[in-house]
Amino acid sequence: MTEKQNCILRIDNLIKIFDDAETEDTILKGLNLTVQRGEFMCILGPSGCGKTTFLRCIAGFEEFDGQIYVDGHKCSVPGTDRIMVFQDFNQLFPWKTVEQNIQYPLKLQGLRDKDELRRISEESLIKVKLQGYERYYPHQLSGGMKQRVAIAKALALKPALILMDEPFAALDAMTRSELQEEVLRISEQEGSTVIFVTHNIEEAITLGTRILVFQKGGQVVFDEKNPIKRPVTPLAENYGAIWEKLHRALHSEDGG
């Protein structure tokens, strides 16, 4: 019973076929999955395995066959209960300031109280350590800062699910590890449920409480809880072993 209540995402037989006039490409062939509340689920996989498409189906950006339930509700179109953080730095609206970017979705949800709006945007900016940047326009920010704002925007909405599609892949190594720490801290503090797509094994081990590996067609070849206690460092016990396992799962296609 508790198991069922805790289940925030259930996916039944998810099928996604891209068909242009000439080719028909099955990206996801019948995927089943459940995600528990508070889980930080990292999805690893080679390019073309369907991990991004999977995320986009959940977000409602793609049409698909099968069922997706979020908090027990069937989803097929985008909604504010599932907020996507993209890899592209340009996901903020350049015509709005940092503050407006965060407040705009809240206003759309009917929140009109100016003080409340300011309080929420300030609070979420503090969480991503960007207080003082309220009035900046996105083009005045660095890539890392833009991603922080995107995360703050997601947090302000308090969605059931935060979907992250390789959000740090285009950042330099230092900024990336900085942001990884922030995301880790925030997700623990907020108890958010995150699905995090990456192609980086270290990132998956560092962030995930649960790690999945996809192979072609959205086939789940690995699905285990991360045994390493946070904060994860390369020196932690089992780090080498789990890395080895994931690496093998990732390259299983080549071997077979």
Paired strand residues for 162: 83, 194
CB contact at 8 A, 2 and 37: no
Q: Which whole-number Å values give the CA distances from 160 to 70, 126, 154, 178, in the listed order?
A: 8, 21, 10, 25
Helix residue ranges, H only, 30-160 = 51-59, 98-108, 114-127, 143-156
Q: Which is nearer to other proteins, 67 or 90 (CB)?
A: 90
Residue 179's H or E segment, with its range, is: helix 173-190
Backbone torsions φ then ψ of 120, nearest 5 degrees: -65, -45
Q: Which is nearer to other proteins, 77 or 173 (CB)?
A: 77
Q: Which is nearer to other proteins, 131 or 140 (CB)?
A: 140
Q: Which is nearer to other proteins, 78 or 240 (CB)?
A: 78
Nearest distance from residue 104's CB to other proteins, in Å? 7
Nearest distance from residue 88's CB to other proteins, in Å? 5
Full DSSP string of 196-224: EE-S-HHHHHHH-SEEEEEETTTEEEEEE
Tokens of residue 226, six digits: 């991360």
Nearest distance from residue 256's CB to other proteins, in Å? 36
Q: Which is nearer to other proteins, 55 or 242 (CB)?
A: 55
Chain residues in the site for other proteins (CB under 8 A):
59-61, 77-80, 82-84, 86, 88, 90-95, 104-105, 108-109, 137-140, 157
Nearest distance from residue 44's CB to other proteins, in Å? 23
27 three-class SS: strand
Cα–Cα dist 105/191, whole Å: 21
Q: Which is nearer to other proteins, 94 or 256 (CB)?
A: 94
**Best CA proximity match to 145, nearest among 181, 119, 171:** 171
Nearest distance from residue 3's CB to other proteins, in Å? 29
Nearest distance from residue 102's CB to other proteins, in Å? 10
Q: Which is nearer to other proteins, 163 or 211 (CB)?
A: 163
CB contact at 8 A, 97 and 122: no
Nearest distance from residue 59's CB to other proteins, in Å? 7
